[in-house]
Amino acid sequence: MPDIENKPCYDLHSHSTSSDGELSPTALIDYAHEKGVDVLALTDHDNTAGIAEARAQADKLGMSLINGVEVSSIWNKRLVHIVGLNFDIDNEPFQIGLANLREQREERGERIGQRLEKLGISGALAGARAFSNGQILSRTHFARFLVASGAVKNPNEAFKKYLGDGKPACVTSEWASMEQTVEWIKNAGGHAVIAHPARYKLSATRLRLFIEDFIECGGQGFEVVSGSQDAAENRKMADYALRYELYASKGSDYHGPNQPWLSMGKMPDLPAVCTPIWSLWENSTSS
Ligand code: AMP
Ligand code: MN
Ligand code: MN
Ligand code: MN
């Protein structure tokens, strides 16, 4: 049913050139503003360096910016993404932890480069670095290099052929445990959210285990509406949020204009039965 109330438009998951997004923090804020987003969280992978620039631009445009980050974490030996929202970005233990993860990314990058070298693709590490803006090194940057060098046609093929889980250039890394990630976020005064829960393709039993462990760690939020989930998945995720009394979040996971199917400001509303995660900070700051 169309919503006729003039509610603010939230997008609590997005990326800039401070991780693997294509737009600078300023350009990302301009874009979000143009698309009608009122409250944006910049959630770069393992990095909060873009937030100051984004905040300056958001202030200029009268937009609200929420501190965010998407932390590479391990649950049950696999990589999962935990989004932190509305935390103190100057919190030292958290920043030390994130710096560590960025170092892990450098090491992993070297090993990805070696794997690709063995597969007959040379210069991948330097090539990926050239795409990375010197901030964090991501598989996305390797994918961009593989496209640019003609090894694959598009980033998706780069993940399917080389970089995705279990593929020949996929190497594991020492990410933070989910427990550690949630502790960092909470101790910095923020809220932890399971990012794009449907993307892990877990069975119902394993998804329940994941959620139960997350709650045990102190996690509170669940990305019910995500740009990397379809409408049916969003609905399913809303059921999990309700069942486990998790606060619901919503985010496009926007990475830039190279994902032409994904736009900001067009995400469906959270189902009315969900409790939005922003009620946590809006209630606490308005009283
Ligand atoms: P990393 O954080 O370095 O492990 O890289 C993961 C990032 O790769 C994700 O955040 C996505 O932005 C991107 N990614 C993952 N799978 C794909 C895919 N199939 N096609 C394009 N990008 C992808
Ligand atoms: Mn990404
Ligand atoms: Mn993610
Ligand atoms: Mn993301």
176 in Cβ contact with 72 (< 8 Å): yes
Is the confidence at residue 283, as pLDDT, over 90?
no
Query: CA torsion, points 59, 61, 64, 70, in degrees to nearest 10?
Result: -90
Beta bridge partners of 222: 194, 248
Of ligand 1's listed atoms, the one at least distance from the Cα of 136 is 3
pLDDT for 2 equals 46
Q: Note the ligand closest to the C-alpha atom of 81.
A: 3
Q: Note the ligand closest to the C-alpha atom of 132.
A: 1
Residues 262-277 have a mean pLDDT of 94
Pocket of ligand 1 (CB under 6 A): 20, 45, 72, 138-140, 143, 155-156, 159, 255
**Which of 17, 43, 140 is the pocket-test mutation for ligand 1 (most atoms within 8 Å of CB)?**
140
pLDDT for 239 equals 98
pLDDT for 258 equals 85
Is the confidence at residue 92, as pLDDT, over 90?
yes
Q: Is 213 exposed, middle or buried (0-12, 13-18, 19+ CB in 10 A)?
A: middle
pLDDT for 5 equals 63
Residues 249-273 have a mean pLDDT of 92
Give the DSSP H or E segment for 216: helix 204-217
Name the least confident of 1-5, 108-112, 114-118, 254-258.
1-5
The C-alpha atoms of residue 181 and residue 187 are separated, in whole angstroms, by 10
pLDDT for 19 equals 98
Average pLDDT, the chain: 95
